[in-house]
Amino acid sequence: MPAVSKGDGMRGLAVFISDIRNCKSKEAEIKRINKELANIRSKFKGDKALDGYSKKKYVCKLLFIFLLGHDIDFGHMEAVNLLSSNKYTEKQIGYLFISVLVNSNSELIRLINNAIKNDLSSRNPTFMCLALHCIANVGSREMAEAFASEIPRILVAGDTMDSVKQSAALCLLRLYKTSPDLVLMGEWTSRVVHLLNDQHMGVVTAAISLITCLSQKNPDEFKTCVSLAVSRLSRIVSSASTDLQDYTYYFVPAPWLSCKLLRLLQCYPPPEDGAVKGRLVECLETILNKAQEPPKSKKVQHSNAKNAILFEAISLIIHYDSEPNLLVRACNQLGQFLQHRETNLRYLALESMCTLASSEFSHEAVKTHIETVINALKTERDVSVRQRAADLLYAMCDRSNAKQIVAEMLSYLETADYSIREEMVLKVAILAEKYAVDYSWYVDTILNLIRIAGDYVSEEVWYRVIQIVINRDDVQGYAAKTVFEALQAPACHENMVKVGGYILGEFGNLIAGDPRSSPLVQFNLLHSKFHLCSVPTRALLLSAYIKFINLFPETKATIQEVLRCDSQIRNSDVELQQRAVEYLKLSSIASTDVLATVLEEMPPFPERESSILAKLKKKKGPGAVSVTELEDNKREGGELNGGGERGPDTTAMAASNASTPSPSADLLGIRSAAPVGAAPTSAGSLLVDVFSEAGPAAPSAAVNDDGFLRFVCKNNGVLFENQLLQIGIKSEYRQNLGRMYLFYGNKTSVQFASFTTTVSCPGELQPQLNVQTKQVEPLVEGGAQIQQVLNIECLTDFSDAPLLNIKFRYGGALQNLTLKLPVTINKFFQPTEMSSHDFFQRWKQLSQPQQEAQKIFKANHSMDTEVLKAKLLGLGAALLDNVDPNPENYVCAGVIQTKGQQVGCLLRLEPNAQAKMYRLTLRCSKDSVSKRLCELLAEQF
């Protein structure tokens, strides 16, 4: 770099900075800045030309003022002029000002680009580096367009200085990250890859950052870099610390380059070439061996550099997952770090072992450290390390140690940090189910989980235990007995009440033979918790009570008295009031057979993926993803729930299409019962999960077009109605524009959640019709109605219709509905009055075969004259009287208005009352319109 002369100290800048620092108030600072800005402006506008030094000094002052937070609106041209200086310091200040203050939309960008091009072609390495730094700092798309093709040439040129190559590689990396579509390596690919063989370590270090980024996007183009990377890594690993003296960091040769090389190799599978693979394995073994050697320095920098390479090497070993010896050695090495005094090392070791646990080669080696990990879970002071320990226990769990690990995690839950309790609960629930051979152990575990950490037990967990009990006959009696005993505790969590209410309502009869758990005792136990519970739990308990009437007729009078009391049938909550009134009436008027049919046991649920596992996968905490990915990687047939009957491809939780009940879990199945015909799952299969936070993936709804044809000749009415939802429609059209109002009415007393509507134009309709919508509110209260407005523009004639898709949650179940919107080509008719002479003259003009569409068909509806006239008027064209020679016939005329053209249309309808037949003839100036109108109208008469 050029020496800085004494005059470049810029005393004026130093004095100005000193003045600013000595200001006693903000006002004084602003006054001094304004004075300086006025002085600089006058200097720039003065007649006397400024020399390079003065320009540099004043531009520096402007830059300093900008950095203080003040706006600068002049001086840019002077900075650009500095770029043409031959003095390093002046050019440097010019580039600095440009990098900080000039945006990509500036009018000066062309001048700046020209100056940069001059410097890049100057072959002066200092000036080239300044230009490259400026390009990288600005990094705009305009810069990429101007220089993306030039920089690779500089990078691979044989006469380019090493310092310029480094800057060019990093500059190209910056442009690739901002505008990857503009940085096309093409012919430069192989020459860029061969920079890994460059003698200058700095060039290699810069180039490998670029190659790694390019390899992640285009691995096939850069796969030749693998052998070169292995060769370079081998030379570094086998070298002594004195061999690479300039790049040795605390006795560790080129640690940054080593880490980057190892990271690059993780972009590719193991090398296919045996010699290259053998050399790489040798490198990895050398790195593991060096980790065992005594440290050459006691300084932390030495151990940090050494361990950085080690952990990157272990990541590569895990990535390849093909060398059993290396995997086991890596596991043993990490095991030594589990008790290291450095917290960061313990954290990294636990995190890496989580991934190692998913490998069939190293899983057993990881299990040998179970006691150390359990101790870390109990004694670690850092919560993040404890969380990684919990992740590792989860990852190393299999059927041989499941009970020990679940017991330890349950024990830790009592004192666990609040931030990780929910995730711990999910993991315990998953492990308990996945490795449960004895389902009584599973039930005990989940109930214990609710007792210990009830506030953190999500709905997915207690839904899951209910589902398991319903699907397994052999555990129903035990579950009823266990939950009955759990409810007897003085302090009982609400989730326990939910599980108890559900299970006793279904299977309380299995323990009713014991006087200690007689029907009335069960009812009184449940009802003692009623007044302490929230509304959804009370609703569930009311459903359990009506189930009791079916299971135990002797409790009918007692339960009816409870339902009849004012606190129930006049409850302020409409859900509780409705249940109480309906259940009371049902129990009073229904016969025993009817009651048994309505209140029969819930059928077995069909299979679906576990919502507990899905919820765990959503956790965004550090390391959570790597842990939950184990469910995809670790498939041990004999260790899955169900023992040897399970195949290796069987996942812990299989998918189903069942609906999701509301949190109140309607026992009667009024809202979300599983299909009655669902087949029970086999004894060995994993239990199912219909209870999912997100519900089942909504099946793609079949298009409902029942109401579509009713609206061809009218604009207002009810488009769709079922037991939940009513959709009304009101529309108006003028020329080629229309406006449609949709009214969505909630016919129930329960809120619709996540209510969304989407209007789409399928296929060819997109360029023919433009539909703009306004979003609706996501919540529709019970009994409420909301409105949505659609603006429609007809661009050209069309035959299809837009689709309206409606999705919402009712009682937890996802509803999905798709309707055809009644937007037809005749909606854009403008009526045209014509005399008889004009009509038939125009009729003859439209005599080409393709312009006419005719259909003879039987009458589908009444042939009443007034009805026919009303339908033809609703069509949109003008109904012409006294035009046709036959007074029984009907003729209409109109023009269909589209954005691009007008289509004249004439219609003639000839009824034959005796034969109950019609002949419909349409003549239009466009044949496709004739055919479409004929199809639509033939369905109307």
Handedness of CA 797, 798, 804, 805 (dihedral sign): negative
Encoded amino acid at 272, one letter: E
842-886 confidence digits (pLDDT tens)? 888 888 878 888 888 888 887 888 888 888 888 888 888 888 888
Alpha-carbon distances, residue 430 vs 394, 442, 641 (angstroms): 9, 10, 11
661: left (phi over 0), alpha (psi -120 to 50) or beta: beta
Separation of alpha carbons 580 and 567, rounded Å: 10
Mean pLDDT of 582-599: 85
Q: What local confidence, expressed as pLDDT, does residue 701 receive?
A: 56
Separation of alpha carbons 157 and 169, rounded Å: 12
Separation of alpha carbons 643 and 639, rounded Å: 6
Return all residues near 286 (Cβ < 8 A) that are at least 6 apart. Answer: 237, 238
Mean pLDDT of 823-827: 89
- Tokens 């300084």, residue located: 299
Confidence of residue 415 (pLDDT cuts 50, 70, 90): confident
503-537 confidence digits (pLDDT tens)? 998 888 888 888 888 989 999 999 998 888 899 99
Question: Which stretch of 436-450, 586-600, 606-620 has the lowest confidence by average pLDDT?
Answer: 606-620
Separation of alpha carbons 558 and 587, rounded Å: 12
For residue 51, what is the enclosing H or E element?
Answer: none
777-801 confidence digits (pLDDT tens)? 888 888 888 989 899 999 888 888 8
Among 4, 9, 256, smallest CA distance to 126 is for: 4
Q: Does residue 231 register a pLDDT over 80?
A: yes
Asked if 344 contacts 308 with a C-beta cutoff of 8 angstroms, the reply is no
Q: Does residue 160 register a pLDDT over 60?
A: yes
Q: What local confidence, expressed as pLDDT, does residue 649 receive?
A: 34
Mean pLDDT of 330-347: 89
Task: Give the 3-state secondary structure of residue 414.
Answer: coil
Return all residues near 411 (Cβ < 8 A) that are at least 6 apart. Answer: none
Q: What local confidence, expressed as pLDDT, does residue 883 receive?
A: 85
Q: What local confidence, expressed as pLDDT, does residue 38 receive?
A: 92
Q: What local confidence, expressed as pLDDT, does residue 350 receive?
A: 92
Mean pLDDT of 827-840: 86
Q: At CB < 8 A and 24+ separation, what contacts does 315-318 make?
A: 315/262, 315/263, 315/266, 315/352, 316/262, 316/265, 316/266, 316/284, 317/284, 318/352, 318/355, 318/356, 318/359
Separation of alpha carbons 532 and 498, rounded Å: 12
Mean pLDDT of 400-408: 90
274-325 confidence digits (pLDDT tens)? 899 999 999 999 999 988 888 888 888 988 999 999 999 999 998 888 888 8
Q: Give pTM, 2 decimals.
A: 0.59
Read off φ and ψ for residue 912, nearest 5 degrees: -125, 100
Encoded amino acid at 139, one letter: G
Q: What local confidence, expressed as pLDDT, does residue 171 receive?
A: 92
Mean pLDDT of 548-553: 88
Q: Which residue has the higher pLDDT, 325 or 681?
A: 325
Q: What local confidence, expressed as pLDDT, does residue 406 receive?
A: 92
- 528 token code pair: 């003692």
